[in-house]
Protein backbone atom coordinates (compact mmCIF):
# COMPACT_ATOMS: atom_id res chain seq x y z
CA UNK A 1 0.00 0.00 0.00
CA UNK A 2 1.50 3.31 -1.08
CA UNK A 3 1.37 6.63 0.74
CA UNK A 4 1.62 10.08 -0.84
CA UNK A 5 5.11 11.36 -1.62
CA UNK A 6 6.12 14.95 -1.02
CA UNK A 7 7.49 16.84 -4.04
CA UNK A 8 10.98 16.52 -2.60
CA UNK A 9 10.71 12.76 -2.06
CA UNK A 10 9.44 12.30 -5.61
CA UNK A 11 12.22 14.44 -7.09
CA UNK A 12 14.94 12.73 -5.06
CA UNK A 13 13.73 9.31 -6.14
CA UNK A 14 13.54 10.32 -9.80
CA UNK A 15 17.03 11.82 -9.68
CA UNK A 16 18.35 8.59 -8.17
CA UNK A 17 16.62 6.63 -10.93
CA UNK A 18 18.55 8.77 -13.43
CA UNK A 19 21.77 7.63 -11.79
CA UNK A 20 22.64 10.90 -10.09
CA UNK A 21 24.93 10.83 -7.06
CA UNK A 22 24.09 12.09 -3.56
CA UNK A 23 26.19 15.15 -4.32
CA UNK A 24 24.30 15.93 -7.53
CA UNK A 25 20.88 15.45 -5.91
CA UNK A 26 21.85 17.55 -2.90
CA UNK A 27 22.93 20.37 -5.19
CA UNK A 28 19.73 20.16 -7.24
CA UNK A 29 17.43 20.15 -4.21
CA UNK A 30 19.61 22.43 -2.06
CA UNK A 31 19.84 19.99 0.82
CA UNK A 32 22.64 18.00 2.44
CA UNK A 33 23.81 14.62 1.16
CA UNK A 34 22.64 12.93 4.37
CA UNK A 35 19.19 14.45 3.81
CA UNK A 36 19.20 13.05 0.28
CA UNK A 37 19.74 9.55 1.66
CA UNK A 38 17.07 9.87 4.35
CA UNK A 39 14.59 11.38 1.87
CA UNK A 40 15.06 8.50 -0.57
CA UNK A 41 14.79 5.93 2.23
CA UNK A 42 11.54 7.54 3.39
CA UNK A 43 10.17 7.52 -0.15
CA UNK A 44 10.97 3.82 -0.50
CA UNK A 45 9.07 3.06 2.72
CA UNK A 46 6.09 5.15 1.64
CA UNK A 47 5.84 3.24 -1.62
CA UNK A 48 5.84 -0.06 0.26
CA UNK A 49 9.00 -1.17 -1.51
CA UNK A 50 11.92 -3.11 -0.10
CA UNK A 51 14.58 -1.89 -2.49
CA UNK A 52 15.38 1.19 -4.52
CA UNK A 53 14.70 -0.68 -7.76
CA UNK A 54 11.24 -1.71 -6.56
CA UNK A 55 10.45 1.87 -5.53
CA UNK A 56 11.48 3.20 -8.95
CA UNK A 57 9.33 0.57 -10.67
CA UNK A 58 6.32 1.56 -8.54
CA UNK A 59 6.96 5.24 -9.23
CA UNK A 60 7.05 4.62 -12.97
CA UNK A 61 3.86 2.55 -13.15
CA UNK A 62 1.05 3.97 -15.31
CA UNK A 63 -1.14 4.39 -12.24
CA UNK A 64 -0.40 7.67 -10.53
CA UNK A 65 1.16 7.66 -7.09
CA UNK A 66 -0.68 10.29 -5.03
CA UNK A 67 1.44 13.35 -4.37
CA UNK A 68 1.33 15.04 -1.01
CA UNK A 69 0.94 18.81 -1.50
CA UNK A 70 3.37 21.15 0.18
CA UNK A 71 2.05 22.76 3.33
CA UNK A 72 0.67 26.19 2.37
CA UNK A 73 1.97 29.34 4.01
CA UNK A 74 -0.22 30.64 6.86
CA UNK A 75 -2.11 33.94 6.77
CA UNK A 76 -0.69 34.80 10.20
CA UNK A 77 2.61 33.78 11.83
CA UNK A 78 2.36 30.35 13.46
CA UNK A 79 4.44 29.26 16.44
CA UNK A 80 5.60 25.68 16.88
CA UNK A 81 8.19 23.59 18.64
CA UNK A 82 10.18 20.58 17.49
CA UNK A 83 9.47 17.49 19.58
CA UNK A 84 12.20 14.87 19.25
CA UNK A 85 10.99 11.40 20.24
CA UNK A 86 14.20 9.53 19.42
CA UNK A 87 17.71 10.97 19.36
CA UNK A 88 19.22 9.06 16.44
CA UNK A 89 22.44 11.10 16.64
CA UNK A 90 23.01 10.49 20.34
CA UNK A 91 23.88 14.18 20.74
CA UNK A 92 20.84 16.44 20.73
CA UNK A 93 18.67 14.59 23.23
CA UNK A 94 14.89 14.18 23.24
CA UNK A 95 11.90 16.32 24.14
CA UNK A 96 11.50 19.92 22.97
CA UNK A 97 14.70 20.69 21.06
CA UNK A 98 13.72 23.94 19.31
CA UNK A 99 11.08 26.66 19.06
CA UNK A 100 10.07 28.17 15.75
CA UNK A 101 7.73 30.35 13.73
CA UNK A 102 6.37 30.04 10.20
CA UNK A 103 5.93 33.48 8.64
CA UNK A 104 3.10 34.49 6.25
CA UNK A 105 5.61 34.55 3.38
CA UNK A 106 6.20 30.82 3.96
CA UNK A 107 9.71 31.09 5.41
CA UNK A 108 10.54 29.48 8.74
CA UNK A 109 12.75 30.56 11.65
CA UNK A 110 13.92 27.92 14.14
CA UNK A 111 15.63 28.68 17.44
CA UNK A 112 17.50 25.69 18.88
CA UNK A 113 17.63 25.17 22.63
CA UNK A 114 20.52 23.79 24.64
CA UNK A 115 23.79 25.05 26.04
CA UNK A 116 24.72 26.77 22.76
CA UNK A 117 21.44 28.04 21.24
CA UNK A 118 21.41 29.03 17.59
CA UNK A 119 18.94 30.28 14.98
CA UNK A 120 18.40 28.99 11.44
CA UNK A 121 16.09 30.16 8.63
CA UNK A 122 14.45 28.04 5.93
CA UNK A 123 12.61 29.02 2.75
CA UNK A 124 9.74 26.59 3.43
CA UNK A 125 8.44 24.44 6.26
CA UNK A 126 8.88 21.30 4.13
CA UNK A 127 12.60 22.07 3.84
CA UNK A 128 12.90 22.28 7.62
CA UNK A 129 11.03 19.01 8.06
CA UNK A 130 13.20 17.26 5.48
CA UNK A 131 16.40 18.26 7.28
CA UNK A 132 15.38 18.17 10.93
CA UNK A 133 12.64 15.53 10.89
CA UNK A 134 15.13 12.63 11.07
CA UNK A 135 12.76 10.30 9.26
CA UNK A 136 9.82 11.02 11.56
CA UNK A 137 11.77 10.93 14.83
CA UNK A 138 11.29 14.69 15.26
CA UNK A 139 7.80 16.18 14.93
CA UNK A 140 6.44 19.69 14.52
CA UNK A 141 3.92 20.58 17.24
CA UNK A 142 1.94 23.68 16.30
CA UNK A 143 1.07 26.04 19.13
CA UNK A 144 -2.43 26.65 17.73
CA UNK A 145 -3.07 22.93 17.31
CA UNK A 146 -1.30 21.31 20.27
CA UNK A 147 -1.46 17.74 21.48
CA UNK A 148 -4.58 16.84 23.50
CA UNK A 149 -2.23 15.98 26.33
CA UNK A 150 -3.29 18.29 29.24
CA UNK A 151 0.39 18.92 29.96
CA UNK A 152 0.61 20.83 26.68
CA UNK A 153 -2.42 23.09 27.22
CA UNK A 154 -1.79 26.74 26.36
CA UNK A 155 1.50 25.77 24.72
CA UNK A 156 1.53 28.77 22.44
CA UNK A 157 1.15 31.19 25.34
CA UNK A 158 3.90 29.50 27.31
CA UNK A 159 6.26 29.60 24.34
CA UNK A 160 5.46 33.25 23.77
CA UNK A 161 6.14 34.18 27.39
CA UNK A 162 9.67 32.80 27.15
CA UNK A 163 10.31 35.57 24.60
CA UNK A 164 8.60 38.41 26.45
CA UNK A 165 11.01 41.38 26.57
CA UNK A 166 12.72 41.96 29.91
CA UNK A 167 13.76 45.31 31.32
CA UNK A 168 16.54 45.68 33.89
CA UNK A 169 17.26 49.12 35.40
CA UNK A 170 20.39 50.66 33.91
CA UNK A 171 22.85 51.12 36.79
CA UNK A 172 24.96 53.60 34.80
CA UNK A 173 22.61 56.59 34.86
CA UNK A 174 22.51 59.60 37.19
CA UNK A 175 19.82 60.00 39.80
CA UNK A 176 16.46 61.04 38.42
CA UNK A 177 17.06 59.49 34.97
CA UNK A 178 14.94 56.51 33.97
CA UNK A 179 16.60 54.08 31.60
CA UNK A 180 16.53 50.31 31.22
CA UNK A 181 18.51 47.53 29.60
CA UNK A 182 16.02 45.65 27.41
CA UNK A 183 16.54 42.14 26.01
CA UNK A 184 14.85 38.90 24.97
CA UNK A 185 15.57 36.29 27.69
CA UNK A 186 15.31 33.42 25.21
CA UNK A 187 17.04 34.74 22.07
CA UNK A 188 19.59 37.22 23.40
CA UNK A 189 19.89 37.22 27.20
CA UNK A 190 23.34 38.84 26.96
CA UNK A 191 22.50 41.40 24.26
CA UNK A 192 21.00 44.46 25.95
CA UNK A 193 19.53 47.56 24.29
CA UNK A 194 19.11 50.89 26.03
CA UNK A 195 15.43 51.70 26.44
CA UNK A 196 13.59 54.72 27.84
CA UNK A 197 9.84 55.07 28.45
CA UNK A 198 8.25 56.17 25.20
CA UNK A 199 10.80 54.42 22.99
CA UNK A 200 9.68 51.55 20.70
CA UNK A 201 9.74 48.24 22.52
CA UNK A 202 12.72 46.11 21.33
CA UNK A 203 11.33 42.66 20.55
CA UNK A 204 12.46 39.50 18.79
CA UNK A 205 10.79 37.96 15.76
CA UNK A 206 9.23 35.11 17.73
CA UNK A 207 7.60 37.55 20.15
CA UNK A 208 6.25 39.65 17.27
CA UNK A 209 4.79 36.51 15.71
CA UNK A 210 3.13 35.50 18.98
CA UNK A 211 1.50 38.92 19.35
CA UNK A 212 0.34 38.90 15.72
CA UNK A 213 -1.17 35.44 16.22
CA UNK A 214 -3.03 36.59 19.34
CA UNK A 215 -1.15 34.20 21.61
CA UNK A 216 -0.17 36.94 24.05
CA UNK A 217 -0.67 40.64 24.76
CA UNK A 218 1.74 43.31 23.50
CA UNK A 219 4.49 44.43 25.85
CA UNK A 220 4.43 48.10 26.90
CA UNK A 221 7.51 48.19 29.11
CA UNK A 222 7.87 48.77 32.87
CA UNK A 223 5.24 50.82 34.61
CA UNK A 224 6.31 54.39 35.26
H or E element, residue 193: strand 193-195
The phi, psi pair for 169, rounded to 5°, reads -55, 135
pLDDT digits (tens, 9 = 90+) for 159-173: 677 778 888 988 888
pLDDT digits (tens, 9 = 90+) for 30-83: 888 888 888 898 888 888 888 888 888 887 765 444 444 455 566 788 888 888
Question: Rounded to an integer, what distance in angstroms lies between the CA atom of residue 102 and that of residue 123?
Answer: 10
Question: Which sequence spans correspond to the domains of the chain?
Answer: 7-59, 78-160, 166-212
Q: Residue 151's pLDDT is what?
A: 40
The yes/no answer on whether domain 7-59 falls in CATH 1.10.10.10 is yes
Question: Rounded to an integer, what distance in angstroms lies between the CA atom of residue 218 and that of residue 207?
Answer: 9
Single out the residue of 101, 96, 67 nearest to residue 84, CA to CA: 96
Q: Residue 159's pLDDT is what?
A: 65
Question: Rounded to an integer, what distance in angstroms lies between the CA atom of residue 158 and that of residue 142?
Answer: 13
Range 40-47 contact pairs with CB under 8 angstroms and sequence separation of 24 or more: 40/9, 40/12, 40/13, 40/16, 41/135, 42/9, 42/135, 42/136, 43/5, 43/9, 43/10, 43/12, 43/13, 44/13, 46/2, 46/3, 46/4, 46/5, 46/9, 47/2, 47/3, 47/5
Q: Residue 65's pLDDT is what?
A: 45
Q: Residue 64's pLDDT is what?
A: 46
pLDDT digits (tens, 9 = 90+) for 3-35: 778 888 888 888 888 788 888 888 888 888 888
Q: pTM of the predicted model, to two decimals?
A: 0.41
Amino acid sequence: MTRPLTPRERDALRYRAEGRTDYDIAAALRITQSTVRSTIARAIRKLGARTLDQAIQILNRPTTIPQEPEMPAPKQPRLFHLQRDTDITGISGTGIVAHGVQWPCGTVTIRWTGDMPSTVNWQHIDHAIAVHGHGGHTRIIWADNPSPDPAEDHLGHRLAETHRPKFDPDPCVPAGVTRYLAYCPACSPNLHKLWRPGDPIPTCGLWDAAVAAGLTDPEHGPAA
